[in-house]
Amino acid sequence: MAVFNHPSFDEHEQVVFCHDKASGLKAIIAVHNTNLGPAFGGTRMWNYASDEEALNDVLRLSKGMTYKNAMAGLTMGGGKSVIIADPKNTPNREALFTAFGRFVNSLGGRYVAAEDVGTTPADIKIASSQTPFVAGLEGKSGDPSPFTALGTYLGIKAAVKHQLGRDSLSGLRIAVQGVGHVGYYLCQHLHREGAKLIVTDIHQPNLERVANDVGATVVAPQDIYAQDVDVYAPCALGATINDVTLPQLKAKIIAGCANNQLAEMRHAQELQQRGILYAPDYVINAGGIINVSFENQYDTQQSTAKVEQIYDTLLSVFSQADAQSRTTADVADEMARALINRAK
């Protein structure tokens, strides 16, 4: 399995393959860049189809964290970790995260882990028995999901303001793909402002909850792309904007909390050509890591105020992209790289 010439390798500083026979742990930790500080990033647990798929995911996600932290104005580098396991069926969770904590500790603080898709603050608490290099613990900054949802909601409002000239989401139709932890909180924000929600998820209990709580219309996973909506909000796994799905889209805005929404960078150009405004994922979904950044001296008001800055950051990206006739993805990348290089 090649790493240095892997298509998603982006001058990563360190990639660590972790295995613990006793617990069955199989994980990969990727430290992308530490110019701005230690690499912070969540720990994703997913039942990957192959080791290669897991490697590709961790390389892409860790790079995204570097850009995310830079654009959020944080003194943090970017990293990520993935655990290859079924998050819905992991009976030895305590042993697994104890072993994972030991591997995180072996990096001596170059990487700081938090929760992500498939993991919980309780899992990170187990890892903390082996290492101080974790964040998002209960009693400190806690679960970052509500803050990720808040930032995404404000990002949707910024996109609607720029693209549709509206300050309110009332009456708009929004398709939300993935209504688990963050997606559910996002739906609550959107519902309170009067948006009409169309949702999908691969887990039936998630759909039942959001349908009951906010009156959302449920559709099959494969049908979410073609819905006649104003906004498509991808909030599940990445690469949902691809050659198959892009021609189906009727939305004028793509703004959601999923990481790595574009399967390839060329899809940003295709979106621009179709007149679809794309909110760069690592800008709009930074609310969780912003909240985590206040871990040691936690203050909810300060954290919320910084999350709210996502609105203005996105408006700046959108306006620069228009002025320069470039994609929003390209503009955001350039802004992030400038901040990272300046720190070096």
Q: Is the pLDDT of residue 204 over 90?
A: yes
Pairing of strands 231-234, 253-254: parallel
Q: Which of 191, 292, 266, 279 is nearest to 233 (CA)?
A: 279
Indicate the pLDDT class of residue 237, thresholds 50, 70 and 90.
Answer: confident
The mean-pLDDT minimum among 2-6, 207-211, 242-246 falls in 2-6
Residue 125 burial by CB count (10 A; 0-12/13-18/19+): exposed, middle or buried?
middle
Indicate the pLDDT class of residue 136, thresholds 50, 70 and 90.
Answer: confident
Please report the pLDDT score of residue 183 as a whole number: 97
Please report the pLDDT score of residue 141 as a whole number: 81
Q: Is the pLDDT of residue 66 over 90?
A: yes
Please report the pLDDT score of residue 277 as a whole number: 98
CA distance 217 to 116: 26
Please report the pLDDT score of residue 270 as a whole number: 98
Mean pLDDT, rounded, of the chain: 96
**Top-confidence residue, 2 or 233:** 233
Read off the pLDDT of each residue in 317-327 and give the average, rounded to a whole number.
98
| DSSP codes of every residue in 138-165 | TTTT---HHHHHHHHHHHHHHHHHHHH-
Q: Is the pLDDT of residue 1 over 80?
A: no
Q: What is the pLDDT of residues 259-316, one digit of tens each?
A: 999 999 999 999 999 999 999 999 999 999 999 999 888 899 999 999 999 999 999 9
**Catalytic residue chosen out of the listed positions 63, 68, 80, 157:** 80
Q: Which of 242, 170, 177 is nearest to 203 (CA)?
A: 177
Please report the pLDDT score of residue 344 as a whole number: 81
| DSSP codes of every residue in 204-267 | HHHHHHHHHHH-PEE--GGGSTT---SEEEE-SSS--BSTTTGGG---SEE--S-SS-BSSTHH
The mean-pLDDT minimum among 46-60, 70-84, 102-116, 133-147 falls in 133-147
CA distance 153 to 186: 6
The single-letter DSSP state of residue 134 is B
Q: Residue 250 catalytic?
A: no
